[in-house]
Amino acid sequence: MANYVNITQQEAEEFLFPQGFRQIELPGTRELVYGKRIDRDGLVLSLRVYTGINPNGQSRDVGTDAMRCNIFWRNDEGELKKVATSKRVHRVAGWKKNLQSRLDELKIEKKCSDCGSPMVLRKGKNGEFYGCASFPACRHTERKADG
């Protein structure tokens, strides 16, 4: 079993700041959150890292220790929607490598040809496909190319 490591605010920022992340304040959030804006094919997205680090700069206790990465998008009505999420990143010795891997995997690759919203990779009974993030208002889907 991997051993838990304490990650400080300074360590998180030394890893995230060179990648363009900045600390963001989110009402009701009791952990440090870092975000950056991503402009991709005319889509404006927000990539966020929820750290599991308390506002005092120290890691939470074991058991509440995972970091998470999410991509958000604001639709035409101004609603903020989570359109992609990563697997959890446990705070173990290899956390930087694991977090970088999650950030690299987490991406929006397509824009809906019908409405311009992000296309999200989904899994269905017939395998993976892209579905519009504006579902159910937009029901556009596309097959995922094999490979």
pLDDT tens per residue, range 121-140: 888 888 889 999 888 889 99
Entry pTM: 0.84
pLDDT of residue 12: 94
For the record, the structure tokens of 116 come out as: 């311009």
pLDDT of residue 6: 85
**Closest of 142, 96, 98 to residue 120, by C-alpha:** 142
pLDDT of residue 64: 59
Peptide bond into 18 cis (omega under 30): no
> Which amino acid belongs to residue 102?
R
Q: List pLDDT tens digits, range 2-44.
A: 688 888 899 999 999 999 999 999 998 888 999 999 987 788 8
For the record, the structure tokens of 39 come out as: 């402009």
> Is the pLDDT assigned to residue 1 strictly greater than 60?
no
The 3-state DSSP class for residue 14 equals: helix
Q: List pLDDT tens digits, range 43-66.
A: 889 999 999 888 887 777 765 568
